[in-house]
């Protein structure tokens, strides 16, 4: 997540395509990344968010 946020900040992007070995794995939004790295109201991090599975 830290690398994704750094790249998104460097390019002023709000969407990023996630790739591995040339294949597209998915798309992540800036909101997705921030939800994972910023604390909730009670000070804990959101780590248990669900992820869509690829067909």
Kindly report, residue by residue over 14-52, the tens digit of the pLDDT: 999 888 999 999 898 988 888 887 777 776 666 655 444
> What was the pLDDT predicted at 21?
95
For the record, the structure tokens of 23 come out as 């294949």
> What was the pLDDT predicted at 2?
76
pTM assigned to the model: 0.57
> What was the pLDDT predicted at 34?
83
């Amino acid at each position: 997540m830290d690398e994704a946020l750094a790249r998104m900040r460097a390019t002023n992007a709000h969407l990023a395509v996630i790739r591995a070995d040339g294949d597209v794995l998915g798309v992540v939004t800036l909101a997705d990344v921030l939800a994972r790295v910023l604390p909730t109201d009670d000070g804990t991090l959101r780590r248990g968010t669900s992820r869509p599975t690829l067909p």
